[in-house]
Amino acid sequence: QHGHGQDHSGRDAGPERDKPVGGTTHAGLQAWVDEVAALTTPDEVVWVTGSQQEWTRLTDKLVAAGTFTRLDPEKKPNSFHAASDPTDVARVEDRTYICSVDERDAGPTNNWMAPEEMKEIMRGLYAGCMTGRTMYVVPFVMGHLNAEHPMFGVEITDSEYVVVSMRVMARTGVSVLRRIEELDADYVPALHSLGAPLQPGQADVPWPCNETKYIVQFPEQRMIWSYGSGYGGNALLGKKCYALRIASVMARDEGWLAEHMLILKLTSPEQQTYYVAAAFPSACGKTNLAMLAPTIPGWTVETLGDDIAWMRFGEDGRLYAVNPEFGFFGVAPGTNEHTNPNAMRTINLGNSVFTNVALTDDGDVWWEGLENTPAHATSWKGEDWTPDSGELSAHANSRYCTPIEQCPILADEYHDPQGVPISAIFFGGRRRDTVPLVTESRDWVHGTFMGATLSSETTAAATGQVGVVRRDPMAMLPFIGYDAADYFQHWIDLGKDADATKLPRIFYVNWFRRDDDGDFLWPGFGENARVLKWAIERMEGKAAAVETPIGHVPTPEALDTTGLEMTPEQVEAALAVDPEEWKQEIPQIEEWFARFEGNLPTQLQVELDGLKARLGLL
């Protein structure tokens, strides 16, 4: 089927995979599972096999419990709607902790508590917390099972919703467990509980969770404890907790990068291929760019990943990226046949879980921005909804969870554990002003400065106020598992040790700039291919740019605007670098850097001084 050193751990290896697993020969793992069961007192312990039959049993159970509604199989086969508790809809950054031994190692951007203090609190919460429920043991691997160093984890959870979602998002089950046993491998223990025990006779609710929530990483121990939430980013522990927070610490120690980045393959009309990684904060366009359908003739995009990239230098000196995930956990609102036709084709194949979208009367899902607005639907809150309701039918952070192999433009290289050599890295955020459509950095350190000072308006992907501009370095603010200043230094060090001619070129983009009426200046989505094209042509030495105080910005002629319904004034406004706006940005950057006190890499201070000088502020 696929070339390359491919991974044969498919989503289902046939009926023999459904044989019950009673336990493990891996002594350490068995001891941990026994210890957790003794603490949390579930009715039953089930080792997850990852089989198709198991999926059917669990989704049937979720339907019976009222958590899932089965969608019309004609429309979305083997797919389900779920509505969460209205208080459990997003990542909870204020409840997320990096419990390093030393407080300094968590840095000024993370919540911290001493590991022993946190464990004491959480052991209290975990005591008896699975009473009346089943405890599932989910062996998983982030990245490929046949990678040189497979990155194992085992999630213990009392949520069937988590088990089925994990099967979509990661390679799970008995083939992974057998490999852990064969290698007597290390794994990241990841403990999750909804915090909703059931006493005898107590009726369950469709979305059990607890008002008290903790999302905790112990970086030195490479361990995760999560409590109280069933929401994806808080509960599917392979994703944010492992593949970003814990992996970023591993990456610091071992000389690689764990980043909040999509990976795409771009092919030019001349059949040249380029691999691009891009970091945008949550709900700022990664999934859409990863699945882009280019509007400019001759260019094609294929997808490798939409949220996480693990990158390390290859023997040839180039930076190689792999996507450690096995599915997409995408923002539903705004997704439609125009903005993201490839996501629509992916979810229409079925085998998906939709959370906090609206349910239509004919057994399909709907959300704001999707075509064919229904005359009536059931909102994510379970209420009657009509187009005149004056309320959102779907939560702004409602999600689809869907298998990656269903993506019609999945690149073959996805199956290669070696990953792909990255030519360009894009940083981007959601800014209504100041930040132009695209800026090219001068070099790696300047690009690191762009990433370190990246700013974006907050979104519904995390609880809290939406639309507030904050610094979100490399789009990793909620995901850096250690001191952000050390993380900046790590970026700089990797660049210093590398062959500069082989380093990816770094760009900074903003699809979200607005005009005076508050409308987006740039049409975005498939049109973003025009920005990719300019970036490639810059690297090939073919495209013109103007040098501005913040970096190189396209001349209006260098950006391919053929067929675009934009006036020259609008194009200029999208590309404009207004020194007055940037002067207002400087105090915010200074305030941000001041948080790191003496730990900020001097190179970043030098970059800031250079920017100030070019703006005439020094």
Q: What does the binding site for ligand GDP look like in residue numbers (CB under 6 A)?
A: 280, 282-288, 306, 330-331, 333-334, 339, 511-512, 520, 524-525, 528
Residue 451 assigned ligand-binding role: no
Nearer to ligand PGA, 45 or 304 (CB): 304
Among 186, 244, 194, which Cα is nearest to 217's?
244
Smallest gap, in angstroms, from Cβ of residue 542 to ligand GDP? 24
Q: Check: CB of residue 260 under 8 Å from CB of residue 480.
A: no
Q: Check: CB of residue 273 under 8 Å from CB of residue 265.
A: yes
Half-sphere exposure of 594 (CA within 13 A, CB side): 6
284 a catalytic residue = yes
Which residue type occupies 298? G
Over the range 289-312, which residues count as b (16 or more CB within 10 Å of their CB) and which as e? bbbbbbbbeebbbbbbbbbbbbbb
- Give the integer Cα–Cα distance in Å for 577 and 600: 27
**Which 451-490 residues touch Mn ion, going by CB under 5 A?**
none
Nearer to ligand GDP, 187 or 280 (CB): 280
Q: Does 461 bind ligand PGA (CB under 6 A)?
A: yes
Residue nearest to Mn ion (CB): 287
- Give the integer Cα–Cα distance in Å for 388 and 596: 49
Q: Cα torsion at 594, 596, 601, 603 (round to 10°)?
A: -20
* Helix count and strand count (H, E) for the chain: 15, 30
Q: Does 294 bind ligand PGA (CB under 6 A)?
A: no
**Which 319-348 residues touch ligand PGA, going by CB under 6 A?**
329, 331
CA quadruple 73, 76, 80, 81: dihedral positive or negative?
negative
Residue 314 assigned ligand-binding role: no
- How many chain residues touch Mn ion (CB under 5 A)? 5
Q: Left, alpha or beta for 387 (phi > 0: left; psi -120 to 50: alpha)? A: alpha
Residue 91 assigned ligand-binding role: yes
CA distance to 169, 536, 544, per residue, from 166 (Å):
5, 36, 46
Residue 238 assigned ligand-binding role: no
Residue 524 binding result from ligand PGA, ligand GDP, Mn ion, none, given CB thresholds of 5 to 8 Å by partner type: ligand GDP
Q: Check: CB of residue 252 under 8 Å from CB of residue 98.
A: no
- Give the integer Cα–Cα distance in Å for 61 and 382: 20
- How many chain residues touch ligand PGA (CB under 6 A)? 10
Residue 286 assigned ligand-binding role: yes
Rg over alpha carbons for the chain, rounded to the nearest Å, is 24
Smallest gap, in angstroms, from Cβ of residue 406 to ligand PGA? 17
> Which segments of 52-156 does DSSP mark as H helices, in order?
52-65, 115-126
Residue 233 binding result from ligand GDP, ligand PGA, Mn ion, none, given CB thresholds of 5 to 8 Å by partner type: ligand PGA
Nearer to ligand GDP, 231 or 313 (CB): 231
What residues contact residue 252 under an 8 Å CB cut-off, 6+ apart? 482, 486, 487, 490
Active-site pick, 129, 284, 401, 407: 284
Smallest gap, in angstroms, from Cβ of residue 367 to ligand GDP? 9
Binding map of Mn ion across residues 314-343, x = CB under 5 A, - = no contact: ----------------x-------------
- Give the integer Cα–Cα distance in Å for 558 and 568: 13
Nearer to Mn ion, 333 or 436 (CB): 333
Smallest gap, in angstroms, from Cβ of residue 91 to Mn ion? 9
Continuous segment of H or E residues that includes residue 253 = helix 247-254
Residue 209 assigned ligand-binding role: no
Continuous segment of H or E residues that includes residue 290 = helix 286-290
Residue 260 assigned ligand-binding role: yes
Q: Does 287 bind Mn ion (CB under 5 A)?
A: yes
Smallest gap, in angstroms, from Cβ of residue 331 to Mn ion? 6
User: According to the 3-state scheme, what is the secondary structure of 214-229?
Assistant: EEEEECCCCEEEEECC
**Candidate segments 2-10, 283-291, 466-474, 519-527, binder of ligand PGA by CB under 6 A:** 283-291
**Candidate segments 111-119, 214-222, 281-289, 568-576, binder of ligand PGA by CB under 6 A:** 281-289
Residue 505 assigned ligand-binding role: no
Residue 495 assigned ligand-binding role: no
- Binding-site residues from annotation for Mn(2+): 240, 260, 307
Chain positions contacting Mn ion, by CB under 5 A: 282, 286-287, 307, 330
Residues tagged in the binding site annotation for substrate:
91, 231-233, 282, 397-399
Residue list, annotated binding site for GTP: 283-288, 399, 430, 525-528
Residues of the binding site: 91, 231-233, 240, 260, 282-288, 307, 397-399, 430, 525-528
Return residues touching ligand PGA (CB under 6 A): 91, 233, 282-283, 286-287, 307, 329, 331, 461
Q: Which residues are catalytic?
A: 284
